[in-house]
A and B are shown apart, each in its own frame.
Chain A
């Protein structure tokens, strides 16, 4: 087993036109020597990963490889399972989020999350979007109205729902519900958006819409997306991390991972030999 290597911090990125341009990317998340145990099970083993600003970082790997666990560690959602223990460091904007004095509530105000299954609240579309701002103390109706419109526009669903903001969000289709959830996440004005297989419960057309949306969102937000769909990772991400049995096997720019993987296991996985 190769110990997960340090992610290379490159001074250049490959743009869509394949022009090499020297760009200094800011790091949002630095993971240093992260280990995680579910009771006795060693779920994540010595993870070292950097996540860059305004990029889409995809995490791929077979079921049970720890990719969702890692994602949920980034906003400490993993702590909802009481038997979880962690060690190591995750620096978010240079502060260790795993330290006791970092309040999860504060962290999750900066880091929004979109879940596998669309999970709107059984409330109106408006109340769904206004939920986040309201828990953070915004009561002014005018400001809430503005946030709701901005968030729904940001999630490319404003035109579809602007005439029925008072209807229950459960009346929408699955794909629309998922974009409502993305809008709800944008309403807390996050810095990072974590997406846990956001299209696995959607039909192909809705999936396409969400993928296009992710491309737009990365202009303003840094996105980490877990997916079991390798084509999706190849289509939408700038960087890809390949997880296997709780370890990072390879982490590189997406083009390198898919066209020129340096590890045999990565190649086996992306060519469909297992997983």
Chain B
């Protein structure tokens, strides 16, 4: 005897197909909602800011007058910031990930550390700002410098880089390590010649995405007390500086309406930097991705 009755199946068929369509439509709606919001936001910013986005805007320092206001100090300041954050966070992050994945024994303490690194990635950025203020600005006496802000930002994105690098290292098949060990390679040789070359696309992609988070982050800079209006560029890592999100924040909170447009122009510059960094990440991922 048959358990599945064909007439019953046919009777329910149209209903099942309808449900199938409804769900598809709902998921599509969810996607469009996000996309439309993003499009509106971009449209508003571009229409507001485009008029102020001139060559002068990029080469002028900040000013009381909206027409003369420029983003030079903030843009160069952000690049200085990245010049500290990138090497510090990538070297520390990748080093930690290599230790945890390749060297650390699997015991309770190391499991606890691994778990808490992921948790650290979720700590609000303002908390890292307070930490930076206490340790780097005051205790070490770095002041409101590029170095203090850079180290603070490095701490902020370190967990993200560690987790990304750990995942990239873990994705290297064990057979690859065995092949290397099997020929008498030491652990270090295996890491340098087999594990890292295979993991580098993932590590770099994760690192660049983390850096683009750092470049847009404002809260820690506010807590550290980074100045907003600067009429000079940093000359070393111990100089005072300002950064893109700080500058935008300052413009946006001014009462004059014209400064809203200046802020929009600043946002366009910040977004251009972010898109540039993200496209590098995508490029690296596509170019160096290896299959096994």
Residues of A at the B interface (CB closer than 8 Å) are: 75, 77, 80, 82, 104-109, 112-113, 115, 117, 119-122, 131-132, 134-136, 170, 181, 184-185, 188
In the complex, how many residue pairs between chain A and chain B have their CB atoms under 8 Å apart? 68
Q: Indicate whether A105 sits within 8 Å of B198 (C-beta atoms), given known contacts A82-B106, A115-B178, A119-B179.
A: no
How far is the CB of A168 from the nearest CB of chain B, in Å? Answer: 9
Chain A residues, CB < 8 A from B239: none
Residues of B at the A interface (CB closer than 8 Å) are: 105-106, 173, 175-186, 189, 193-194, 198, 290-292
| Cβ–Cβ contact B178 & A121, under 8 A | no
How far is the CB of A97 from the nearest CB of chain B, in Å? Answer: 13
Chain A residues, CB < 8 A from B183: 108-109, 112, 131-132, 135, 184-185, 188
| Cβ–Cβ contact A105 & B185, under 8 A | yes
| Cβ–Cβ contact A119 & B181, under 8 A | no
Docked Cα-Cα span, A119 to B181, in Å, equals 12
Q: Give B292's nearest chain A residue, CB to CB.
A: A122
Q: Indicate whether A117 sits within 8 Å of B184 (C-beta atoms), given known contacts A122-B292, A131-B193.
A: no
Chain A residues, CB < 8 A from B176: 119, 121
Q: Indicate whether A105 sits within 8 Å of B186 (C-beta atoms), given known contacts A122-B198, A135-B193, A170-B291.
A: yes
Docked Cα-Cα span, A181 to B181, in Å, equals 13
Docked Cα-Cα span, A77 to B190, in Å, equals 14
Q: Give A134's nearest chain B residue, CB to CB.
A: B193
| Cβ–Cβ contact B184 & A105, under 8 A | yes
Chain A residues, CB < 8 A from B106: 82
The contact of B184 among A80, A108, A119, A122, by CB within 8 Å, is: A108
Chain B residues, CB < 8 A from A77: 178, 181-182
How far is the CB of B292 from the nearest CB of chain A, in Å? Answer: 7
Docked Cα-Cα span, A82 to B290, in Å, equals 29
Q: Give A128's nearest chain B residue, CB to CB.
A: B179
Can you name 17 extra interface pairs (CB under 8 A) apart from A119-B178, A122-B291? A80-B177, A80-B181, A82-B105, A82-B106, A104-B181, A109-B184, A113-B182, A115-B175, A115-B179, A117-B175, A119-B173, A119-B175, A122-B290, A135-B180, A135-B184, A185-B182, A185-B183
Q: Could you give 17 example pairs across A and B, Cβ below 8 Å?
A: A80-B178, A82-B105, A82-B106, A104-B181, A105-B186, A108-B182, A108-B184, A112-B182, A115-B178, A120-B179, A121-B194, A122-B291, A122-B292, A131-B193, A135-B185, A184-B179, A185-B183
